[in-house]
Amino acid sequence: MTIPLQDFAGSCHCGALGFTFRTALPVTAWSVRECQCGFCRAHGALTTTDPAGRVAFHAREPGLLRRYRFAMRTADFLLCARCGVYLGAQIETAAGAFGTVNVRAMTPLPAGLPAPSSAVYDAESAPERVRRRAQRWTPLETMLQTTDGTSPTGEDP
């Protein structure tokens, strides 16, 4: 028997950008992470993924999408240029495209979220980081495009 996926919506504060996170997992079984890197701490991010689920990022106002790559430059972190909210991140790998979402951008915030676990990825090499994300992040339905129609390739510029 296949368990149907449940949709959870999220967006930036001004509504220009958003996502739909689809999972069969009950909220109480989500793996919620609190990454300890400077970017995630500065944004107060709590992230979740489901390798058996799906995620789709969308842009009602594509001109407000800002993609930010830092440190190893292995993924695009998606932010709204108007309100500054961090929605999540996406990566394109040889195994496919994957994403993670910022739970704090979900509306409404799902009831029953488990306490976040602290996550530190400082010891990973770039190939290890890409491999972990391909295994643990949620498959993307489509990569969020930039205003010029291009999408990230997973390669460092």
Q: Residue 43: in which H helix or E strand, if any? A: helix 38-43
Q: What letter would DSSP give residue 112?
A: T
Kindly report the pTM of this predicted structure: 0.88
The CATH fold assigned to 6-139 is 2.170.150
User: For residue 49, how far is the Cα from the chain centroid?
Assistant: 8
- pLDDT one-digit tens code per residue, 83-133: 999 999 999 999 999 999 999 999 999 999 999 999 998 899 999 999 999
CA distance 61 to 47: 23
CA distance 120 to 100: 16
Q: Find the Cα–Cα–Cα–Cα dihedral 151, 22, 85, 105, rounded to 10°.
A: 180
CA distance 5 to 23: 5
Contact 100, 49 (CB under 8 A): yes
Q: In what order do the strands lie in the sheet with 54-59?
A: 6-11, 17-23, 54-59
- pLDDT one-digit tens code per residue, 11-61: 999 999 999 999 999 999 999 999 898 888 999 999 999 999 999 999 999
pLDDT of residue 38: 86
